[in-house]
Structure 1
Amino acid sequence: MAEVDKACCSLPAVTTHDYKPNGTYTKLAGLDVYQTGPPNSTRALIAVYDVFGSTPQTLQGADLLSHSLDALVLVPDFFKGKPLPLSLYPPDTDEKKKIAGEFMQGTANIDASLKTLGKMVVEAKGAYGDVKGWGCYGLCWGGKLAVLNSGAGTEFKAAGTAHPGRLVKEDAEKLTIPFICLFSKEDGTPELMQEYGQALEKNDENVVEKYGSMHHGWMGARANLGDKENLKEFERGYTQLAGFFSKHL
């Protein structure tokens, strides 16, 4: 497992309540895109949120990475202002399961979203000509888009995920760029998480770590930053992402 570069990767203080994002909005590939950091930076990240959309926790994570890396970070709104409501989690009734299933097949369809992400990358490269190194990270659902965009022919130099969703070992085996994976304690069966991690660890440039006390979603919409342990691991996770991308972009 590759060591991350900790130089120049300290985060500013995390705001635990009522976070006000630092960025602005632009338009790319027909999507509203949250933009944070210098548009003339030489490195940039595309952040793909989880199914609950552009929450304050997710946007704060983008701001933290932008500040730490002095990088441009773009957060596209794939769901066009209509994410899956947090109230549907956990999907513990037939009605909740039905709504979530329809959302995943429609609004959050992976194949359609991959095409949209591809269009956005092309437009972003044209709009931000100073960027020399593009990267991507995704949370849960977004992690699936990140890993599927990190194989042969990718536009990215490095990519990663935190609390990944829809794990398939073959996705990890097809990677062609450095990749970081931060597991929670519950991103799939223990056997599947182990297989996925072992596939990643075959490349020394990849980073795999399990945050064993954390729930699925601790770095995204389900982050409870009022909880001391979640806050600590939220900070550690984004510091680890920053170190990885500092090294590879």
Structure 2
Amino acid sequence: MSHTQSAACCNTPAVISKGYKEQGQFITIDGLKTYTTGPSSAKQGILVVYDIFGFFPQTLQGADILAHAHNEHQFRVFMPDFFEGKPADISWYPPDNEEKGKKLGEFFQTSAAPPKTVERIKSVMSELKSSNPGIQEWGIVGYCWGGKIVNLVSASGTLFKAAATCHPAMIDPKDAANVTIPMLMIPSGEEEKDAVEKYEAELKVPKKVEWYHDQVHGFMAARSNLEDEKVKAAYEKAYQTLLTWFHNHM
């Protein structure tokens, strides 16, 4: 399916600064607690790979925005709990002392080891496709750590039609050469400029890079301070970009 951008696609629901109550529900997919939101009649699905802090209200709100922002082109969104109830503690970030650095390092080597999640996505998607036969196309978006996962599952033979990474971690220009589907990147001011530019240059697919130089790593997910009007405005704008990307490439 091919859709051009319309004004309606960018009408994101009002962003709630504090005390957000998710619109979807939690189900079990491949043995994992999974947040799902959006109409069951949707013909397109989006898999969300959260950041290392798991099911935060800001990230759940983002999933709801993706699912409900356009009455005529809605997505069914799924966000599995790849850490099985044991995400990283947000107090570990930023890792500005030895103890925090050690805890984050251990988490990335065990629970957040990318190959482990890449393999789990294969079985998750197998069940999602089987249980949602009405979904004809799939997109994928990842935040921070999830951005690395998105790159790794966007290579030849991917199940996904379009991809996006939001303030991605572990940016490696070598990953770009293997990407075979349209790729959006939304870097924050804390991503390494040289790495992002080299990555962008290596992409051979439809691509877009939209910088948010005045925002922190995580501003679209767990580390977003939506009570700050400047952050809230950036969050809203970035989700408009994300929606437009999926509307145009799915």
2:97 to 93, 97, 106: 93
Q: How does 1:33-112 map to 2 (within 5 A)?
A: 33-68=34-69, 69-112=73-116
Shift of 1:39: 2.0
Paired position in structure 1 for 2:133: 129
Distance (whole Å) between structure 2 residues aligned to residue 58 and residue 90 of structure 1: 18
Paired position in structure 2 for 1:8: 8
Paired position in structure 1 for 2:196: 193
Q: How does 1:177-192 map to 2 (within 5 A)?
A: 177-188=181-192, 190-192=193-195
Instruction: Tell me if 1:213 matches 2:214.
Output: yes
Distance (whole Å) between structure 2 residues aligned to residue 228 and residue 122 of structure 1: 41
Q: Which runs of 5+ in 2 are unaligned?
A: none
Paired position in structure 2 for 1:26: 27
Q: Is the 8 A contact 1:40 1:128 kept in 2?
A: no
Cα shift readout 1:193-225 (whole Å, capped 9, x = no counterpart)? 22112223x53x211111111111110100010
Which 4+ stretches in 1 moved above 2 angstroms?
4-8, 197-200
Distance (whole Å) between structure 1 residues aligned to residue 164 and residue 26 of structure 2: 24
Q: In the alignment, residue 223 of structure 1 is paired with which amino acid?
A: S
- TM-score, normalising length from structure 1? 0.94
Shift of 1:103: 0.8
Shift of 1:157: 0.5
- Structural RMSD (CA): 1.2
Distance (whole Å) between structure 2 residues aligned to residue 107 and residue 216 of structure 1: 20
Distance (whole Å) between structure 2 residues aligned to residue 196 and residue 222 of structure 1: 24
1:120 to 108, 118, 124: 124
Distance (whole Å) between structure 1 residues aligned to residue 128 and residue 163 of structure 2: 16
What is the SS of the residue equivalent to 2:210? strand
What is the SS of the residue equivalent to 1:99? helix
What is the SS of the residue equivalent to 1:8? helix
Q: Which moved more, 1:170-179 or 1:52-61?
A: 170-179
Shift of 1:26: 1.0
What is the SS of the residue equivalent to 2:8? coil
What is the SS of the residue equivalent to 1:126? helix
Q: In the alignment, residue 221 of structure 1 is paired with which amino acid?
A: A
What is the SS of the residue equivalent to 2:20? coil
Distance (whole Å) between structure 2 residues aligned to residue 6 and residue 145 of structure 1: 30
Cα shift readout 1:115-156 (whole Å, capped 9, x = no counterpart)? 001110111000111001100000010011111111100000
Cα shift readout 1:50-105 (whole Å, capped 9, x = no counterpart)? 01111000000000010024110001101111111111111112111111111111
Distance (whole Å) between structure 2 residues aligned to residue 79 and residue 6 of structure 1: 37
Distance (whole Å) between structure 2 residues aligned to residue 208 and residue 86 of structure 1: 27
What is the SS of the residue equivalent to 1:243? helix
Distance (whole Å) between structure 2 residues aligned to residue 248 and residue 54 of structure 1: 27
- TM-score, normalising length from structure 2? 0.94
What is the SS of the residue equivalent to 1:222? coil
Shift of 1:40: 2.5
Aligned length: 243
